[in-house]
Amino acid sequence: MGKNRNMRNLLREWQGELKRAFTGSPEALPDWVPLLAEGDDAGYHLPGSAVWAVHGSMPTIVAGIRTLLMQALHPGALAGVHEHSNFREDPLGRLARTIRWIFTVTYGSKAAAEEASARLRRLHEPVQGNYSDGHGTVRGYSANDPELARWVHIAFLDAFLSAHKIWGGPIPGGPDAYVREWAQAGRLMGVEDPPLTEADMRQELDSWYASGDLLVDARVAETVEFIRNPPLHPLLRPGYRIMFAGAVYSLEPKYRAMLGLTTPRLGPVPLPVKLATQVTLAVVRLALGSEGPSEQAARRRLRRLGYLQET
């Protein structure tokens, strides 16, 4: 009996730490989540959309790690993080703020999405400085600069589509629908004329690579090492190690090589990274539930407005 009780306590603690990682609290919801039920319009995205399908799935966890790895390759984006962020001291806080923006634009009303994006842009206003680009030229950067916003947007699209293709289900309308729908999020963050198809997005990503504007240096290596081993609760580290391996597995070989990464071994008898990631994502889904509180709040708003029938 004692052993079973200890196991249950351990599982509850693990579940609480998992929730804390995504919401900032092991028990209470963040105060912004219930607000997604408010508002007088349907929002930019509805149930059945490509955005709801991708962002409501567990592969977003792997996609988030891959996004950080890819964004680190742009020296301007990386300079802003290193010089104006407390990511080392509070990585989960930064994660929670990013999740808040993504879920508000995904599930909130148009007014909520626009306000969340404006808030983020205001936070970005003091993020300015200089960096040395891949050609040895010193350039100025601003987090709200359209060029940097474009890189962040495209790295996001690339990561979320790639992870979903490997571990997610069907996307309504296919990958092009996701790129087209999430272009609105890019516009809200100042991206001018964002790509509307997967092919256009991939072409832009390849042009960044070919231009030589992406850079690998000691700062990138330090960032990659931090992403590999963030200061997580010990109960979360085994699962995170698998998620990180999945993110590395999902990278295109040329970016994996730039970052100095190889697909990690998982255990003394190597497990297939793709399978291990799939199993870990399934366990996380069981712990967190099949429908998140943000999606539930959005459905309440949509039922109130008559876009969904009462169930």
Q: pLDDT at position 25, please?
A: 59
Residues 3 and 5: their CA atoms lie apart, in Å, by 5
Q: Identify the pLDDT of residue 89.
A: 62
pLDDT at position 263 over 90: no
pLDDT tens digit sequence for 60-98: 999 999 999 999 999 988 887 777 666 666 666 677 788
pLDDT average, residue stretch 237-258? 95
**Residue 210 pLDDT more than 60?**
yes
Domain residue ranges of the chain, discontinuous segments joined by +: 36-231+291-304
Rounded mean pLDDT, 85-112: 84
Helices (H), the chain: 2-23, 50-55, 60-71, 75-84, 91-107, 110-124, 146-167, 174-188, 198-211, 218-228, 237-250, 253-258, 273-288, 293-304
Instruction: Classify residue 62 as exposed, middle or buried by CB count within 10 Å of its CB (0-12, 13-18, 19+).
Output: buried
- Cα separation of 180 and 194, whole Å? 9
Report residue 83 as tokens. Answer: 């010089």
pLDDT digit string, tens, across residues 127-157:
888 877 767 778 887 778 888 999 999 999 9
pTM of the model: 0.91
* pLDDT at residue 86 in the model: 65
Q: Is the pLDDT of residue 2 over 60?
A: no
Here the tokens at position 90 are 């509070």
Q: Which is more confidently placed, 1 or 180?
A: 180
Q: What 3-state class would DSSP assign to 142?
A: strand
Give residue for tokens 């990278």: 251
Chain length of the chain: 311
Structure tokens at 272: 């297939």
